[in-house]
Amino acid sequence: TGRKHLAEMIESASVVLPFTGAGISTECGIPDFRSPGGLWTKNAPIPFGEFVASREMRDEAWRRRFVIEEQFGAAQPGRGHRALASLYRIGKAPAVVTQNIDNLHQASGVPEDDVVELHGNTTYALCLSCGRRYEVAWVKERFEVTDHAPDCTSCGGYIKTATVSFGQAMPEAAMRRAEALTLRCDLFLAIGSSLVVWPAAGFPMLAKRNGARLVILNREPTEFDEVADLVVHADIGNVLAPFVTH
């Protein structure tokens, strides 16, 4: 079966690179983006240009962020996160590359420096002008007082969750690191992603072209299934649970 092959492939690989999407966190109570009930299924994303162009949009973006705080704030790592943390701990995986913004790979014990976040992190916020860091709870408190999203207390800049919106530049260091890791691995595990958002979706093919084996673990088909060495259409937590070693 697919699961048995996955275990063998991980066993025989020397460098495994996990690359994750929102599907790894759904069992933790965090919705993904494109499934029924997903964040973009409910509301179209607010592009970066609209965020910076209007106060109404900034307020709306923050209101939406407060709505999901209950889920993000309470979430604990799931079986998938713990399995990948186990692969990291035993030295199989040098890092985890993620499109996720939920901080759960860090929470599962992978050191912050080895979680490569391609789309940033929604558990804190940054001033877009000076980079000053703010906590979501502080933004929420200010919002409740003024009924608007607060601006930076140092420079007056706009405060935004530390995520990468459509139209916003990709984090260069993370992109370079993800590329180097992709070129170093001999087994690339694409887990829980629809693989439709670029440039992130380019990494599985980069690994493949570089000679690595490619595994896709996702409930639904992706457009890269046909080039993968192994495709597992099943629940991530169930499939990865056997790899949890601590």
Q: Which residues bind Zn ion (CB under 5 A)?
A: 127, 129-130, 132, 152, 154-155, 157
Helix, strand, or coil (residue 213): strand
* Interface with ligand OAD in residues 158-177 (CB under 6 A): 163-164
Q: What burial class does residue 91 get, using C-beta atoms within 10 Å of its C-beta: 0-12 exposed, 13-18 middle, 19+ buried?
A: exposed
Nearer to Zn ion, 53 or 155 (CB): 155
Closer residue to Zn ion, CB minimum distance, 29 or 131: 131
Extract the tokens encoding 48.
């970066």
Residue 129 interacts with which of ligand OAD, Zn ion, none, CB < 5 to 8 Å by class: Zn ion
State which of residues 220, 223, 227, 245 lies at the interface with ligand OAD (CB under 6 A): 220
| Whole-angstrom distance, CA of residue 243 vs CA of residue 246 | 9
Structure-token pair, residue 65? 């962020």
- For residue 14, which of 195, 236, 152, 188 has the smallest C-alpha distance? 188
DSSP codes joined into one string, 57-114: HHHHHHHHHHHHHHHHHH----HHHHHHHHHHHTTS-S-EEE---S-HHHHTT--GGG
Using rule CB under 6 A, residue 121 touches ligand OAD: no
Q: Residue 130 touches which of ligand OAD, Zn ion, none (CB < 5 to 8 A by kind)? A: Zn ion
Is residue 215 within a helix (H) or strand (E), and if so which, with residue range?
A: strand 213-217
Segment contacting ligand OAD by CB under 6 A, of 68-76, 83-91, 150-158, 187-195? 187-195
33 binds ligand OAD (CB under 6 A): yes
Partnered with residue 18 across adjacent β-strands are: 189
* Amino acid residing at 62: W
Q: Active-site residue 246, yes or no?
A: no
Angle between the 55-74 and 136-146 helix axes, to the nearest 10 degrees?
A: 130
Among 192, 214, 228, 240, binds ligand OAD (CB under 6 A): 192
Choose, from 81, 105, 119, 148, the residue flagged as catalytic: 119
Q: Which of 6, 13, 19, 26 binds ligand OAD (CB under 6 A)?
A: 26
Q: Which of 204, 183, 184, 185 is nearest to 193 (CA)?
A: 204
Query: For residues 22 and 126, which CB has a smaller minimum distance to ligand OAD in the complex?
Result: 22
18 is an interface residue for ligand OAD by CB under 6 A: no
Q: Which residue in 13, 16, 19, 27 binds ligand OAD (CB under 6 A)?
A: 27
Token reading at 124: 């804190």
Residues that bind ligand OAD (CB under 6 A): 21-23, 26-27, 32-35, 38, 45, 99, 101, 119, 163-164, 192-194, 197, 218-220, 235-236
Q: Among all residues, which ones are annotated catalytic?
A: 119
